[in-house]
Amino acid sequence: MHEALRKYINKYASTEIGDDDFELIKNKFTAKHFRKNQYLLQEGEVCKYVSFIVKGAIRQYSIDQKGIEHIVSLCTENWWVGDRESFTMLTPSKYNIDAVEDADVLLLTKADFQELVGTAPFFVASLSAMDYNYQIAAQERIHAAISFSAEERYLNLLANNPALLQRFPQTMIASFLGVSPETISRIRKKVHQ
């Protein structure tokens, strides 16, 4: 299971990570399997881990006072998931994170995370790339939310991450895009005629 993490790190490192360096990183991660619908994190808990997804699909969401679900992240293989604010500040999370499919993940505690940042330059390089990609994705998502029509948001997701449309139910895609499931149905019919 750790080989996926090694490939991820090598993708962003300037040189390929050696066996000894990778062993140092590998030993800090704990492999865990989550069944479909099982929580990685529930609202109100402190996020104790960041998770690297080896296999499966996971969503991060909140539920408002009216009981409406608002999905902030849809994640699949080679994505990291966790509540950054809760993990960093040790505050109760505003989010739920659960498996939409059976999922295999590698968990990293805050203490192990900090140790790796101090001792493993290959890991730091992959973190830098992860943060860079996260910032770009967050900026694009904000821009789409305030500037695009519902149809444009759907087409943008279709163009940039079509696998999500195959892996997550239509109701979750609708929540992620901030539209109703009926709107998604209408858009899909129009786009896929």
What confidence tens digit (pLDDT) does each residue in 2-23 have?
999 999 888 877 778 889 889 9
State phi, psi for 28 to the nearest 5 degrees. Answer: -90, -15
Let me know: does 141 contact 133? Beta carbons within 8 Å: no
- pLDDT cut 90: percent of the chain above it: 73
Confidence of residue 126 (pLDDT cuts 50, 70, 90): confident
What confidence tens digit (pLDDT) does each residue in 83-117 have?
999 999 999 999 999 999 999 999 999 999 999 98
Let me know: does 29 contact 52? Beta carbons within 8 Å: yes
State phi, psi for 172 to the nearest 5 degrees. Answer: -75, -40
Please report which residue ranges of the chain form alpha helices under DSSP H: 2-12, 19-26, 84-89, 110-119, 121-147, 150-160, 162-167, 170-177, 181-191
Let me know: does 170 contact 181? Beta carbons within 8 Å: yes
Using CB atoms within 10 Å of the CB of residue 118, give its burial: 0 to 12 exposed, 13 to 18 middle, 19+ buried: exposed
Q: Max CA-CA distance within the chain?
A: 54
CA distance 59 to 37: 10
What confidence tens digit (pLDDT) does each residue in 53-76 have?
999 999 999 999 999 999 999 999
Q: What is the pTM of this model?
A: 0.90
